Each structure stands twice: as C-alpha cells, then as structure tokens.
Structure 1
Amino acid sequence: MDTQQNTALTRALAEVPGPLPASGVIHIAIPHTDRFTVVGNHLAQHPDLSCTAVGIAVRIQSLPQGIEIGIKALAARCREGEKRIAAALRELEAFGYLQRVRDRLPSGRVITRTVFCNQPTALLRPRRPAAPQHPAAPAPRPAPAEAPARVPTSAPARAQAPTSAPAQAPAQVPTPGPTPAPAPAQVPTSTPAPAPTSPPEPDTPAPPHVPPPPFLAAHPTPLFVPLVPPPTAPKPPPVPLPRPDELTPELDRAATAFLSDLRRHTPQLTLSETDVRQLVPGVAAWLERAAHPDAVRRTLTTDLPHPLRHPAKLLKHRLTALLPPPLPGSQDLAVPVRPRITVTPFQTCDDCDRAFRSPAPGHCRDCREHRAHRSEATRTAA
C-alpha cells in the first residue's frame, strides 16, 4: 500500500506566498474567527523570560476577568508543578506583566488585586484621549437631468461646477458631419445650486480628566519596579576560599590530616585527593585563627543535606561563609583607662571671704590686684 499523502497540508503549502525556505519553520497562517487571544511579540519573544513564564502569561491573558490565577489554581489547569508556576509568576512580576496591589473597598475591607497587563511599557506613556467621531456630511445630490440636448460633462468638470462662476457664456456645440446644421443647438445653462454648507462645528470641549484607578494611582512613576532580580540576571562572582597569612608546613600537614579524617566521622564527606588539596588553605585559615579541630569538624558535619551530592562544594561554602574572625589580642581585651580630670578645689579669700578656685588658700584676684595697687602707691609716696 502506498503512503497516504496529506492533501490538505500539500494544498496549504501551495497557497503560501513566495518560495518555500529550504530550512527553518514554514508558517501556515489561518485567520481565527473566534476563541483567540492577541499576544505581542514583546512577550512571545522576550529575551529574558523563560518559556514557562511566557506560556503562563499567555494562559493568564486568555482567561476571562475575575478568574483566580493563584499558584494552586494555575497548577490545577497546567501540567507544571507549583514551584515552576511560582517561579514563572515571579518573573512576570519582575518585568511588570503581573502586579499584586492592595486596595481598600468602600466598606473599609482591604483586598489584594491581581492585575495582568499585556503591554506594561504602554502604561508609562501618557495616553491621548480618543478624537470624537463626527458623522460624515451627506453627499450632495446630483443635479436633475436637463434637456436631451445638454452635453454631459466629464467627472472633473462636474466636481468643479459648484465652485465655478454663477454665469457663464453659452457653449456652441458644432454638429459633426459635412452637412451644416441650420442652427447650432444651444446648450441650456442653468445656474448651479450652491452646495449645502454644513454649519461651522463648535470647538469640541476637552474630555474631562479621569483619575486613574486607585491601584494604579498609588504607584509613582515608574509603575513597575522589579524588587527581586529575575532568574536570568547575572550572578555575582563566587567568594574565593579563605587562605592563611602564611601556609606553613605544620598548618598544611594538620589541614590535610583533618580533611582526610572526615570520612571516619561522617561517611558522606569522603573526599578525593584533589578535593583535599583544594580545601587545605580553607582549613588552614581556620586553624590559624585558633579554631579547635573539634569545633571545625562540628561546623562542617552538622545538619548535612540529604542526599549530599557534592561534598567538596558544601565544605567550600561552609569554610568560606562561616569563617570566624581572628582572636583578639590581650591589648584589645584590656579596658581602656580614662584620663583623670584634675578638679581645682574652692578656697575662701582671707580678706573678702569670696569663694574662688585655687590649689592653695590665699586671696582672690580682686584682692590681689587691690593689694598690689596699694603697695605701688606706698612706694611712690615714699
């Protein structure tokens, strides 16, 4: 039996305009008449959205108003699990297609609205009010038919007839043929009726300003600000493994023995010789900071994930992220000595009994000046 040919596909390919490409996709575009959704290429070909996020966005865009689009509701309609759907919703929220806003009802109840915008960049552009549509002016009726002798005019002439002068000279129509006509037929002319002019349209008032919905007015420009970086954002470089200030032979030997002995306490942490050589600087940095080997072992082997697939990567992460600070020295632990402030005591003047500050008893400043002035006057008099 011969292989059956899909005649419908062959006929559809024959109707594709232009030559068919030798490779790549061939589009057979059949117009939709019902049950279709318009999706922009900015979403279908988004360079930073995953295919799962694009598919979830198309599914949400095709649903009617008021349908629940939570994680569990979408998981009941789609084959993807809740984790993939949650990640896709976070991507759409990061790029502005999905927004969850809180709104207060007139009754005082606060609800969360889920808003999906098929073109989020258009929300940032100011919208122009739609121009009012006026009914078209009725076309002028053609002039009634004249006498049979009237010469029909061409279309341009008819179009220019209403704007011509009201009175024109009668046109002489020569009769063809060698026999001269007794009298040339006079073309009756009639004054064309002025075309009906529509009254001047009044100025269209500007449409009233309609405030935006409360869930959109509460957000300043820009409307959508990604709070969480998308999964495709570039990740920061990994933190390097800590290294000691000086990798002495004693530290190298102790760190190697420590890593090789881990499989005796925890079989899941069986390391290869290459992994041991790579992790030796990290353990040496811990030992250099006076960390006890038992404390280091307890930190590296407690609360291991199940199953543990990459023990060397886990040890590298813990050696880097949980590195303790160096022990402080004796000078750092000493209590700082506050400088003593010498307070000058109060004294009582022997002459005027005035209080003044002085390390030794005696006279105040005014009494000392008075005594000096009196002594000088006595010497001058002598």
Structure 2
Amino acid sequence: MGEQQLSARARASSVVRGGRTGGFGGGVTHVRHRHRERFTVVGNHLAQHRKLSLTAIGVAVHIQSLPDGARVDIRSLAARFPEGEIRIASALRELEAHGYLTRTRHRAPSGRIVTRTVYHHRPGTQGRPGGEEQEPVPRRGGGDEVGREGHGAAAAAPAAAAEAGPTAGAVEPPPVRGVEPVGAAQPVRPQPLPQPKPREADDGRLRLAASALRGLRGDAPALLLTEADVRRLAPAAAAWLERGTPPEVLRHALTTDLPQPLRRPAALVAHRLAALLPAATAAPPRPSASRPVPLQNCDGCDRAYRATRPGGRCGDCRRRTTEPPGTASTADGGG
C-alpha cells in the first residue's frame, strides 16, 4: 500500500477557470482591510513586475512610501534593512534599468558632489519632481507584463481603488504584453574638463606628482589607480605643485567627500584635478644682481682684463701709447 502507483490516475485539480480556487485548495485568499491613514498606493506594474527581483520590488515600495527629502542612498537603506549594501545596490541598479529610479550627480555651491535621486511611481510618465506625474498614454491590446495571473488583479483594481479612499489615483490601463516600461530619459553626461598642464617641464616635480597619486590609496583605499592612470594624470598633478600647492593639500583635495559607491576612481581624480585647480599665484620678484663685466684678453700684452666688448687694450697698454713719458695716471680697468 505504501508503494507509489505510477499508473494511478492523477487526482482532479481544484483550480477553476480564471485561476481561482473558490476558497478551497491551493492559492491565496485575501482578508481585505480598508486603510484610512498611513497607506501607499502601489501599481501592479511594480508589484507584479516579471523582470524585477523581490528585493528590487521591496526597495521600490519602501522608497515610494517615503516623503520627499528622505535619504535613500545605499548606506541609509542598508542601515534600515537586514540586506547588505551589495544587494541593495543591485536592487537600485535594477530600478534604474527599468525606469523607476534616476540618479544624477551635481556640484553643490560648497563644491561638494551630491547625488540627486528621483523616483518615478510609473515609468514613462512626465511631471516635475515633487509634483504629480501625468498618466501615460494607454495602449490598445490585451495582456500585460505580468501574464495571465495579472488579469484577475487588474479586474479587481477598480474596487480596490474605490476602497482606498479619495487619495487613491485613477486606475491605469494594463500595458501591452511584451512591451517593457519606458524608462525615464537618461541624464546627459557632462563632457570631461581638459586636464591642466604645467607651464615648465620639471622631471623632479613630475616624479613628486606621480608619487602623490600613488599614495592616494593610503588615505582612501577606493582610490586605487593603475600605473597607466598615474602616468596619464601626473602632468595635471604637477600643475598643482607648480602653483605652490603642497603634496598633502593635493591629497586632501582628491580624497575628501568621496561618493559611495566609487565606481571609476581614475575619472573622479581627473575631474577634481581639472575642476579644483587652484589659482596661480604671482611669483616673488627675484633680487636683481649686477652681472660682472666679462674678462677679455688684451691685444697688446695678452693680459686678462674686464671689458664690455672683445678686442682692445688694457689700461696700461693704452697709457703707454697715448701718454708722454714721465706722466703718472690712474689705471682705468687694468687687470
């Protein structure tokens, strides 16, 4: 009796047409509750998304429930939930790829690089940040991105929207099957700034600049540069040293307030070398030193004497040829 009978007829399924069980057998049965405060309206395009992971869907729902101005960076979310920074960072990248999230970097008036995060309650909609987005243009056709099991939820959406209260938005028409949500427009990346160059070639200063770039990982382990990056960025760092910047000040400017996570350390160093280049200071005037008159050989006695132009006679030879015998005079430039 305990042996499995492979020829036995399979028992009848309790699932009826439409994917429902009528309250018996497998499947979920909802015990509904009408929320009157502290609730968030989430669309089925997110809750039943076929290509988002459950972690990404949960992070999206949490972000959607937060007020404007709440911190949703990787560290803040990792401190709030048991998932680590790696899983949360992967979930944020999924939301970016499907148009639910856009992150752009801007420079604050203080000079610090800050990340501006915008969450779209429905990808493909247009509206100003902090305001209400406009509804997307409905597409004709059957099906949606969640498959057959999404039809029952879409059919029950009007009743759920009426039950949610006056704050709930209008019911969105299901999108066309096989069509991915249209992502938000990607921000235009600014062109990289031209790298500064030293005005005078100095091998010693260039070696000191390369040594300062190699030592950045001692202050910030994320700034691990390759040897090719060091050779490419050393002239720009030498331009800082040429303007009187000490190496420790250069390292502080390149390692302070780093973005998290840092994906391209060489690009960040190149940007800061160009954008934060200090102003050139006027060089102190050099003390004026009188150049001595060069030495020349006398054409008469071949003795060395000082004269501004070559070819001539020393003072003694000129006196012997111009003065009468017995006249005493003072030598004027004789050696």
- TM-score higher than 0.5: no
TM-score scaled by length of structure 1: 0.29
Larger RCO (CA under 8 A, 6+ residues apart): 2
TM-score scaled by length of structure 2: 0.32
- Rg (Cα) greater in structure: 1
